Amino acid sequence: MKQKQLFEHHAFYFFELLMLLAGFFLIIIFSYSVIIQFMILMFVLMSYITLGFIHHHINHDLRAKIVLEYVLISSLILVAFLFLNSSRL
C-alpha cells in the first residue's frame, strides 16, 4: 500500500513536471507576444492548482487552506510575470 502511494506521488510529480515544462516551453516559443505568454501562463497555473487539488484529494488531506496556498503560489508567479513585463505593457 505504501509503495502504491509512493508511486502515485512520483507519478503526480512527473506529470506536473511534464505539464509545466510544456507550458513554459510554449511561453518561450511565444516570446514575441506578452499577451499570449500571459494567457499560457494563466492556463499552466490553473492546471497546476487543479493537479495540486487532485493530488491532495487522493491523499485525503485536502483543506481549504491548502487550496488557498496553491492559488497564492500561482498568483505570486503571475504577479511576478506581470512585474517582469511591466516595461512592455
What residues line the site for another protein (CB under 8 A)? 13, 16-17, 20-21, 24, 27-28, 31-35, 45, 48, 51-52, 55-56, 61, 63, 65-66, 68-70, 72-77, 79-89
The rounded Cα 76 to chain-centroid distance in angstroms is 11
- What is the closest distance, in whole angstroms, from the C-beta atom of residue 6 to another protein in the complex? 13
- Host H or E run for residue 61: none
- What is the closest distance, in whole angstroms, from the C-beta atom of residue 48 to another protein in the complex? 6
Q: Which is nearer to another protein, 4 or 83 (CB)?
A: 83
Residue with cell 497546476: 48
- What is the closest distance, in whole angstroms, from the C-beta atom of residue 1 to another protein in the complex? 19
Torsion of CA 75, 77, 80, 85, to 10 degrees: -110
Residue with cell 515544462: 21
